[in-house]
Amino acid sequence: MTYRDSLAVVILAAGQGTRMKSVHPKAMHKLAGRPLIGWLLETVKDLSPEQIIVVIGPDMDDLAQEVAPHRTVIQHKRLGTGDAVRTVLSELKDFTGDVLILLGDMPLITLGTLEKLIETRHAHEKIGLAVLGAEYDDPPAFGRLIQNIDGTLKRIVEFKDATDEEREISLCNTGAFCVRGDKLASWVSKIDTNNAQKEYYITDLPVIAAGDGFKTAVCVTQNESEVMGVNSREDLSAMEMMVQDELRAFAMENGATLQDPTSVYFSFDTELGQDVTVEPHVFFAPGVSVADNVMIHAFSHLEGVRVEQGAQIGPYARLRAGSSVGENAIIGNFIEVNRSHVHAGAKAKHLGYLGDAVIGEKSNIGAGTVIANYDGFDKNETVLGKGVFIGSNATLIAPLTIGDGAIVAGGSSITDNIPAQALGLAREKQMTREGWAAEFRKRKAKK
């Protein structure tokens, strides 16, 4: 970028999301596993601002925690965007750089567009602020940008205040501004409520700046999707579909095979290596990293897990947070892995629960095996050494250690440690009565 001024970013995020029928702040609703505000913060940090200040509403402790360590200020009465900016002025006292004002429910704005908006503010010394606009073939109910003959901005008219002729204008306000920090306080103090909503609008700034001898420049984005806002569940769903399409395309462009892309759902941070194959109906929650040559079968759910090269997952597997699956390991159908580490070459192919466990290299977990990790008070650990064989329908009751090469007989409930190369057997001795079944049926038939 060509500008050299310092930068502060103000994000307006006090919206309650009333139309979303939610008790959560609008900016806390998630998009591909990350709150809307998180997307915006991730982008603006690359501008290296001196400070980021987020305007929140009362009782939005979860939002304040999400944006930490950045500062928050509370807008106690929601009297419009101008009022929201007014709440941060004390935090910007003596700041003379650029102030970038953004909306917390517009998460997809790109770094390149923000850089261009800031550069537009610096195009001439008499430009006091720059406004980001977007061209629409079918303009929505946004404010309209009314330009002067020279292309500078004369004024912004809110949709509810616009005439029919003004509503025909295709250039709309997106809500993103870059303002001279040394003028912001004096200009905001002059905003009034002379509008249909009787609120304080930062869209009044171009007229106020003109009265002070400064022009307003317009920076136009051609990408409507990056300035989409979220005001309803429908908006959030539409944005989710758009982001998912981008994430799917990125995965395939980087060497993953998605057999039915529209049925696979990614999180913002999902990492897939080359030659990963993902069958239909797989869900990646946040924190998943998959190495090369992994097969993920249909209807599997992965969250907070690292899967190493050559592993096989599913179908119908659930890998929960805090787990890892080693090279060439197999986690088969209806296996749940929770806070457990399955080392290279280990196998758990059918119907089991592995909780708070370490499964050693090349160990085999038989069908129906359950690791009983919870005693009603504490989660306890089970450690299996290398080459351990667990027979079908075994219950391993933690805390427990099973040594290298040990065998647990099928149907056993194991409560004591088993040393290396030993057999663990814990079940009732079988009793067989010859001819009993035939006699039983005869008795039943006579009744």
Catalytic sites, residue numbers: 350
Tokens coding 103: 């909306």
What are the CA-CA distances from residue 328 to residues 324, 387, 394 (Å)?
12, 14, 24
CA distances to 9, 85, 92, 121, 284 from 205, in Å:
17, 12, 17, 14, 44
**Length of the chain, in residues:** 447
Give the Cα-Cα-Cα angle 48, 52, 55 (nearest 5 degrees): 155
Distance of CA 133 to the CA centre of its chain: 27
The C-alpha atoms of residue 161 and residue 169 are separated, in whole angstroms, by 14
Buried b (16+ CB within 10 A) or exposed e, 390-407: bbebbbbbbebbbbebbb
Burial of 431 (0-12, 13-18, 19+ CB in 10 A): exposed
Question: Closest Cα to residue 299, out of 268, 330, 274, 263?
Answer: 263
Cross-strand bridge partners of residue 345: none
- b/e map 48-79, b = 16+ CB within 10 Å: ebebbbbbbbeebeebbebbeebebbebeeeb
Helix (H, G, I), strand (E, B) or coil at 134: strand
**165 contacts 252 by C-beta, under 8 angstroms:** no
